[in-house]
Amino acid sequence: MRRSYRLLAISLLAVLVLAACGAPAPAAPEAAAPVASGPVVNRLGITLPEDALPLEQQVFRYPSKEQKYMTWDASVYEENDGDNYGWPDSCVRPDKDFNPQPNVCESWSVSEDGKLWTFNLQQDKVWSDGVPLTANDFVFTFQRYARADYDFEWFYSMMGIKNWAQVVSGELPPEELGVKAVDDHTFTIETDYPVPYLIKIMADAWVVPQHIVKDRLDDGTWALKPENYVSAGPFVLQSYEKGKRLVFVANDKYTGPYPPMVDKVIVEFMEPEVRFAAYKNGELDAVGGGYTDDLPPSAMAEIMANPELKKELISWPNFITYYLFFDTWNPPFDNLKVRQAFSHAIDRDKIVNGPLQYQAVAAYTMNPPGFPGENVEGLKDVQAFDPELAKQLLAEAGYPNGEGFPKLTMYTREANPALTNAAEAIAAMLKENLNLTVEIQNLDYGSYMDALRAQKREKSGNFLFALVPYEFDFVDGSNMLSVWGGCENAGADLSQMPGRHTWYNQEYNNLLCEAGQLLNDEARRNELYQQAERILIEDVALVPIYHGIFNALVKPYVKGPMFEPNSKGQVTWNRFRFSSRESQIYMSSSTRE
């Protein structure tokens, strides 16, 4: 009996070890690739550069997290990575400097009064199933965006399209929407007022195939069915292995300005904690450059200490601002002096040089450096770190040395370790400089946004103090300021005012409203935004803490136009939403500079 047990144990171990050794290790492209004989031509007939690896090795792999939907028109916040290039194509496409460039929309014009836009489509555009892409597809796409249960509806509502709200609420049929097809290759957008930034939003007009979706009110499940994998972009979905990966292949029907070079793009689903390891083990070609903690502080420290890895690192600033906000409609934060005390008590430099090293720069404004309308220089002293002044202001507000101040909870939203570190550093500084006790409570996304909503809409009064990021949606001075206000709906209650926070300032709203309708005068608009932002910062609606920096590692054998710097000299590994990342790379037998 004993022997048989031992035998069983040994044989089991043997099976495991054999299984482990017998099977080949996963293919790693860096392992001595044979140089292709003759030029490499992909399935679109495009000849790849001379140093390209053979076609079967033109596979690009990067990590992501599995989400619920496969298409932008289902959900923007719960869509799988990759749909923006794999599926549809957008009307215009920003270049590396965020300027809109022709894409499916070859050209466009706007009427004298700024209220009618005309878009001309590329003539020979077809879906991957051979059906021509027409202006009707765009009209249908906008009709789909105008539905009440769509989570990005608020974004398109900023375009001021005629009858938008009525179509959303169902008062008017979708045909009444201000988006109309003139002919197969032309459509127009009619707006209620001039919208200077409309063309920038058209970068997110991701056309869907009407002949496939059919139902305007489909919740987005259509794109999960394999028979519906119909694309207009450079890639087309080959397979969706649930729980594992998405596999895209070059779309051989693609015609347009961004033809693909690599043959396959594989999106591997994995948790952030293990991505760096998988990258180092040759299972991924790129990692990082997203919102998850793919490259935590330890990874960054390791990269900086390792010359090989350091060469693969690409860093560039993101337009994102992490800030503290208050419920200014309730005590104690209805007192400006309290808010000012907080704003002067936090040493941003210590945070961005400490826990957030390589990941952030100090923030004193809502609009990050390099963003249209930003005024970083002009505003950087308004909330400068000054612990003595902070103490004094808190005392003036009636809380000398923090006495009598209520016990505070700082809420964070689905915080990754880095964000929690920042929150803890802030709490420590508030304790050190103002003698206040702050506990940090992390909420999951749903609970957090529910609380945020209740704070404003229902004036719940129990969500006083929190830390949250806002990332740009499109590159225009209006975008990030819109979190704090906008054109007032006449006679509306405070709780129904534009913006997501419990801070209100009529002058601020007026400035935003005026600038938002000013056509063909970008300079004047940005001037107005600067005035508005000054109000915001001086009234301490928020305490900006840091602007994020993106870090990504890309294997040296990945080359292509993607790595050419933009006008500021920055090499970026942008979200594919801009400059069509996956179409601008190929796998090479030589290494990148």
Partner 1 sequence: MIRYILTRLLGLLFVLLVLSMITFWLMHGVPGGPWAYGQQLMSDQQLEALKARYGLDKPVWQQYLIWLGGVVQLDFGMSFQHPDESVAGLIGRTWPVTLHLGLLTILVAFGVGVPLGIISAVKQNTWVDYLATLLSIFGFVTPHFVWGILFILTFALYLKWLPTGGWEGPQYWVLPVLAYAFAPIAMIARYTRASVVEALRADHVRTARAKGLSERSIMSRHVLRNALIPMVTVFGPLIPDLITGSIFIEAIFRIPGLGGYWVTSTFDRDYPMIIGLVMLWAVLIALTYLITDVLYVFLDPRVRIR
Partner 2 sequence: MATAELDVANRPLPRTLRRRSLYRDAVRRFFRNRLSIVGLIIVSVLLFAAIFADDWFVAPFLGRAPQPLIAHYGYDEAFVGPTGAFPSADFWMGADLNGRDEWSRIVYGARISLSIAILSQFFALLIGLPMGALAGWRGGKVDYVIMRFVDIMSALPVLLLAFLIMLRMGASYWNVLLALSLTTWIEICRLTRGQFLTLREKEFVEASRAVGSRTPRIVFAQILPNALAPIIVSVTLGIPRAIFAEAALSFLGVGINPPTPSWGQMIGREGIANMTYFWHLAFFPAIMIALTMLGFTLVGDGLRDALDPKMVEGK
Rounded least distance, CB 500 to partner 1, Å: 5
Q: Which stretch binds partner 2 (CB under 8 A): 197-205, 226-234, 424-432, 562-570?
A: 424-432
Q: Which of 475, 481, 476 is nearest to 379 (CA)?
A: 481
Instruction: Retrieve residue 428's tokens.
Output: 């420590």
* Among the listed residues 62, 69, 87, 127, the single contact to partner 1 using CB under 8 A: 69
When the beta carbons of 284 and 512 are compared against partner 2, the nearer one is: 284
117 forms part of the interface with partner 2 (CB under 8 A): no
563 forms part of the interface with partner 1 (CB under 8 A): no
Q: Which pairs from 221-224 meet CB under 8 Å and 24+ separation?
A: 221/69, 221/74, 222/71, 223/69, 223/70, 223/71, 223/74, 223/83, 223/87, 224/69, 224/70
Q: Could you say which residues in the range 244-273 bind partner 2, by CB under 8 A?
A: 272-273
Cα 498 to Cα 314, 327, 456, 528, distances in angstroms: 37, 16, 10, 18
555 forms part of the interface with partner 1 (CB under 8 A): no
Cα 205 to Cα 84, 92, 135, distances in angstroms: 10, 8, 12
CB burial of 88-100 (b: ≥16 within 10 Å; e: otherwise) equals bbbbbbbebebeb
8 forms part of the interface with partner 1 (CB under 8 A): yes
15 forms part of the interface with partner 2 (CB under 8 A): no
221 forms part of the interface with partner 1 (CB under 8 A): yes
Q: Could you say which residues in the range 71-110 bind partner 1, by CB under 8 A?
A: 75-78
- Beta strands 116-121 and 105-110 are antiparallel
1 forms part of the interface with partner 1 (CB under 8 A): yes
172 forms part of the interface with partner 1 (CB under 8 A): no
Q: Give the one entry of partner 1, partner 2, none that residue 440 binds, where binding means its C-beta sits below a cut-off of 5 to 8 angstroms depending on kind.
A: partner 2
* Alpha-carbon span 29 to 559, nearest angstrom: 14
* Among the listed residues 32, 38, 215, 242, the single contact to partner 1 using CB under 8 A: 242
When the beta carbons of 438 and 537 are compared against partner 2, the nearer one is: 438
* Alpha-carbon span 210 to 185, nearest angstrom: 15
268 forms part of the interface with partner 1 (CB under 8 A): yes
When the beta carbons of 269 and 316 are compared against partner 1, the nearer one is: 269
Q: Which of 110, 571, 545 is nearest to 349 (CA)?
A: 545
Residue 367 CB neighbours (<10 A)? 27
Structure letter (DSSP) for residue 96: T
591 forms part of the interface with partner 2 (CB under 8 A): no
**Is residue 548 a contact partner of residue 368, using CB atoms and an 8 Å limit?**
no
Give Dmax over CA atoms of the chain in angstroms. 94
In sequence order, which ranges of 210-269 are alpha helices (DSSP H)?
A: 210-213
Which residues are near partner 1 by CB under 8 A?
A: 1-2, 5-6, 8-9, 12-13, 16-17, 19-23, 25-26, 68-69, 75-78, 147-149, 151-155, 168-169, 219-221, 224-225, 241-244, 268-271, 273-274, 277-278, 280-281, 283, 444-453, 456-457, 470-471, 473, 483, 500
Binding region for partner 2 (CB under 8 A): 272-273, 276-277, 293, 296-299, 301-302, 350, 353-355, 357, 409, 414-417, 420-421, 423-425, 427-429, 431-432, 439-444, 447
